[in-house]
Structure 1
Amino acid sequence: MRVKNKKTMALLFLAGCVVLGYWLGLCLRPVEIVAVHEDGNHASVLVKTFPFTDKGKISWWLENKNRLKEKYNIPKPSPSGNFTIIFWNFGDGYKEERKYDRRCFDDIKTKVNCIEKNAVFAVRQYHDDDVIFATYEGRYSLKKNSDIIKVESD
């Protein structure tokens, strides 16, 4: 009877290691920026392999915001300090507008200029105030002293 338990435990351990390895592989993939579309102080960044967790998304922004400014010149705040950057999952790529409620980009002059609306992260700032991060799980405020606080919903 003990041999059977050892085999079962070994199989469970092996399965756990495989699942953990797969999850770590997914989490450690670099973010791929496919395209950036701009409209004034609003930017849409099309990404693949964006972090899963809120903490991962915010950390990625904090680590890469200077790179985004240097490479893509975003954000471009308005004179009053407002800007919005929405990160969209690029998914299966550009599609025609045919389907209801796709996000289309006027700067692409072909019929295939839309993506499925699947926003994964947003960064906003209003009037040089705190930066707001929006995710599926909630909203967070980056204070001037670098503290990040979850904003309670109304």
Structure 2
Amino acid sequence: MRVKNKKTIMLLVVAGCVLLGCWLWLSLRTVEIVAVHEDGNHASVLVKAFPVTDKGKVNWWLKNKDMLRDKYDIPKPSSSGNFTIIFWDFGDGYKEEGKYDRRCFDNMKTKENCIEKNAVFAVRQYHDDDVIFATYEGRYSLNKSGDIIKIKRE
């Protein structure tokens, strides 16, 4: 019986190490910005290897918002202070419209100007108010004093 227990323990340790290794690999990848498409105060940023966790996404934004402004000139708030930036997983790249509900970019004059709608993160601001972060898991508010607060859904 002891041999069976040792094999089970070893199997669990190996499985744990594999999972930890995968998690570290996912966490340490460098985000690649493939393209930025703009429409007024709205921007779509196509990315590869975006952080997996909500905290990772928000921290990536806080660390890279100045780079996005300097390199891509986003966000471009409207006269009332509104802006939206949506980060889309670039996935398998540009495709033809073909399938229902793809996100297409009219500024591209090719047949392959659409992506699968897989938004991974959004940043919004309304009327110079708090910045709102939206992820698959939840919504967060960045207030003027720099505090990040999870918004409870009702």
Superposition TM-score, scaled by structure 1 size:
0.95
Read off the aligned partner of 2:39 and give its amino acid letter.
Answer: D
Offset, 1:5: 2.4
Q: Unaligned regions of 5+ residues in structure 1, if any?
A: none
Query: What's the offset of the Cα at 1:94?
Result: 0.4
Q: Measure the CA separation in 2 of the matches of 1:82 and 1:9.
A: 55
Q: Could you tell me which amino acid in structure 2 is paired with residue 69 of structure 1?
A: R
Tell me which residue corresponds to 1:148. 148
Q: Note the C-alpha offset of 1:84.
A: 0.4
How many angstroms apart in 1 are the aligned matches of 2:106 and 2:20? Answer: 42
The yes-or-no answer on 1:66 pairing with 2:66 is: yes
- Equivalent in the alignment of 2:11: 11
Within the alignment, does 1:116 sit opposite 2:139 as a pair?
no
Structure 2 matches for 1:3-152, cutoff 5 A?
Answer: 3-152=3-152
Aligned length: 154
For 1:92-149, what per-residue CA distance to the aligned partner results, in whole angstroms no more than 9, with x for missing partners?
Answer: 1100111111100011100100001111110001111100111111211100000111
Deviation at 1:74, TM superposition (A): 0.6
Long gaps (5+) in structure 2:
none
SS at match of 1:136: coil
What percent of counterpart residues are identical? Answer: 79
Deviation at 1:8, TM superposition (A): 2.8
Once the two structures are TM-superposed, the CA of residue 78 in structure 1 deviates from its matched residue by 1.2
Runs of 4+ in 1 over 2 A off after TM superposition: 1-8
Alpha-carbon distance in structure 2 between the residues aligned to 1:102 and 1:58: 25
